[in-house]
Amino acid sequence: MKVYKFGGASVRSAEGIRNMAAIVKAVSATPLFIVVSAMGKTTNALEEVLAHFMKTDREAALEKLREVEDYHKKIIAELFETPEPALEQIDTLFHELRNYVQEAIGDDYDRCYDHLVSYGELISTRIVSSFLLEAGVGNMFLDMRKLLVTDSNFREANVRMEDSEKRFAQALDFSRCPVYVAQGFIAANSKGDPTTLGREGSDYSAAVVGNLLNAESVTIWKDVPGILNADPRIFPDTVLIPRLTYYDAVELAYSGAQVIHPKTIKPLRNKKIPLYVRPFAAPDEAGSVIGEAAPPIDVPVLILKKNQVLATMRPRDFSFVLEESLSGLFAVLNKHRIKVSLVQSSAVSISVCMDNTRQLSDALDELANDFKVSYNSGLELLTIRGWKKEVIERTTSGRELLLSQQTRRIARFLMKENTDC
């Protein structure tokens, strides 16, 4: 069997969902597990609903929810010849959402987030499953909150592979039902409380499913031709990299390449399952494949990570940074779930470049107990893998550099964010 994953951008419109169905129909002889994200910008919209709800502005939350509902109903109206079954199903989901927004108590932000935001995926998969049925592709809808077991680390939950494997084995039988449709991004803890795997986590869901079901391959359908050597929205003259190793892919994802979620590779690598990244808009093209072996990448790869902060810490008691304070410092960052992108140390200070997230100020506050902390925000980190002098010149000239690091293969530059683009 194979796993196909369709992201929010692919299923954001009736036309996209039709294209998805055509892609699925083209492999009708293959047993398929289909993972789908929330449609378009639904996750962001539900985050807004949540923000109103947390401020107990229930009216504003309901108003925003109506927008989300209208968006999905419009897609259904355009998509179906017989819209009633799909409408009924999503009516139930919106009814649950409205009840929650009107009656629940918003105490723990992360827990409420997972409860509410997970509906984006439930709604999209109901629509997709119904549409595939109407298009003649028999399939079974699955609720990942009942199948994928995680810990209770809400908003960034860790999958419990063994528990999940048992549930998958019980629920699925490809000889009886060759196509399943399920949500990316969402799961539940062992008590059944909904959890999510982190923003953009559907790729990771697809990889976990691939691992649990020993899939022949996992394919992520994307709105790009495959894995490119740079983001074409930022850099000119990009080229496709047809084959990459798991190692290459982890490095790219870690440096901030948005084409795949960093956690995606490990579950696949462990079972040597190839990962295809293929163009949703041109399903006949091969795209890129990530696997055990690949020729060396012979073009410079450019990755730009935005919204970075550089914090410099000096121990208040003058202890040498590297020996004594390092583990404490990282423990604090880890506790606040801060993702570190780059580290540079000297005898008396350590500089850490990190994603600028909601939890950052709490982390910096806590670090201020032991360190004198100074920081800069509004930064972007450029990583050039396989750098060449002219590429560095082209991409950094005239820019204010706060920090640079260079090895034989990799060059990294931390700069003030470019406000021109």
CB 336 → ligand ASP: shortest distance, Å?
20
Per-residue interface string for the shown chain with Mg ion, residues 2-21, x marking contact by CB under 5 A: ------x-------------
- Of 37 and 196, CB closest to Mg ion: 37
Question: Tokens 């009814």 appear where?
Answer: 95
Give the contact letters, 91-120, x = binds to ligand ASP (CB under 6 A), - = no: -----------------------------x
β-pair partners for 315: 371
H or E, element range at 130: helix 119-134
Please report, to the nearest 10 degrees, the dihedral formed by the alpha carbons of residues 38, 141, 154, 117 taken in order.
30
Report the site for Mg ion in 125-184 (rule: CB under 5 A). none
Query: What does each C-alpha distance from 110 to 89, 103, 116, 120, 173 come to in angstroms?
Result: 27, 18, 10, 16, 34
Q: How far is the CB of 359 from ligand ASP (least distance, A)?
A: 17
Q: Are 196 and 118 in contact, with CB atoms under 8 Å apart? A: yes
Residue span binding ligand ASP (CB under 6 A) among the ranges 35-43, 165-173, 269-277, 370-378: 35-43
- Cβ atoms within 10 Å, residue 385: 20
CB closer to Mg ion out of 114 and 370: 114
Chain-centroid distance of CA 70 in Å reads: 25
CB 82 → Mg ion: shortest distance, Å? Answer: 28
Range in contact with Mg ion (rule: CB under 5 A) among 33-41, 65-73, 232-240, 362-370: 33-41
Q: How many residues bind Mg ion (CB under 5 A)?
A: 2
User: Counting beta carbons within 10 angstroms of the beta carbon of residue 265, is it exposed (0 to 12), middle (13 to 18) or buried (19 or more)?
Assistant: buried
Report the site for ligand ASP in 157-186 (rule: CB under 6 A). 184-185
Binding residues for ligand ASP, how many (CB under 6 A)?
Answer: 12
- Residue number with CB closer to Mg ion (35 or 159): 35
For residue 373, which phi and psi values (nearest 5 degrees)? Answer: -110, 130
Answer yes or no whether residue 37 interacts with Mg ion by CB under 5 A. Answer: yes
Nearest residue to ligand ASP by CB is 202
Structure tokens at 220: 């992520």
* Of 25 and 233, CB closest to Mg ion: 233
3-class SS at 163? helix
Does 262 interact with ligand ASP (rule: CB under 6 A)?
A: no
The number of angstroms, rounded, from the C-alpha of 395 to the middle of its chain's C-alpha atoms is 27
CB 270 to Mg ion: min, Å:
25
Binding to ligand ASP, residues 193-252 (CB under 6 A): 199-202
Cα 260 from Cα 160, distance rounded (Å) = 21
Q: Computed from CA positions of residues 374, 376, 377, 379, in that sequence, does the dihedral angle turn out positive or negative?
A: negative
Of residues 128 and 384, the one with the C-beta less far from ligand ASP:
128
Minimum Å gap between C-beta 8 and ligand ASP is 5
- Kindly state the smallest distance separating residue 90's Cβ from Mg ion, in Å: 18
> In angstroms, what is the minimal distance from the CB of 120 to ligand ASP?
6
* Least distance in angstroms from the C-beta of 87 to ligand ASP: 22
Selected from 1, 2, 3, 7, the binder of ligand ASP by CB under 6 A is: 7
| Structure tokens, 103 | 């009656």
Spatial strand order in the sheet of 301-315? 340-345, 350-355, 301-315, 371-385, 410-416, 401-406
Give the footprint of ligand ASP on this chain (CB under 6 A).
Answer: 7-8, 37-38, 43, 120, 184-185, 199-202
